[in-house]
Amino acid sequence: MKNSKFRIIASSLLSASLLLGVSASAFAQDAPAAPAGEQAVETLTVDPVHSNAMFRVKHNDAAYVFGDFLGESGEFTYDPNNPENSSFNVEIPVDSISTGNEQRDTHLKSADFFDAKQFPTLTFKSTSVKKRGMNILEVTGDLTIHGVTKPITTIVQMTGTSTNDEGQQFRGFYTTFNINRTDFGMDYGVGTMISDNVKIILSFETGVAAK
Closest CA to 41 of 83, 89, 74: 83
- 42-208 homologous superfamily: Lipid/polyisoprenoid-binding, YceI-like (2.40.128.110)
Please write the tens of the pLDDT for every residue from 113-126: 999 999 999 999 99
Q: Could you tell me the residue ranges of all domains in the chain?
A: 1-31, 42-208
Task: Provide the β-strand partners of residue 201.
Answer: 54, 176
pLDDT confidence of 27, banded at 50, 70, 90? very low
Query: Model's pTM, two decimal places?
Result: 0.80
Q: How far apart are CA 8 and CA 98, in angstroms?
A: 92
Please write the tens of the pLDDT for every residue from 124-177: 999 999 999 999 999 999 999 999 999 999 999 999 999 998 888 999 999 999
The H-or-E segment that residue 19 falls in is helix 2-28
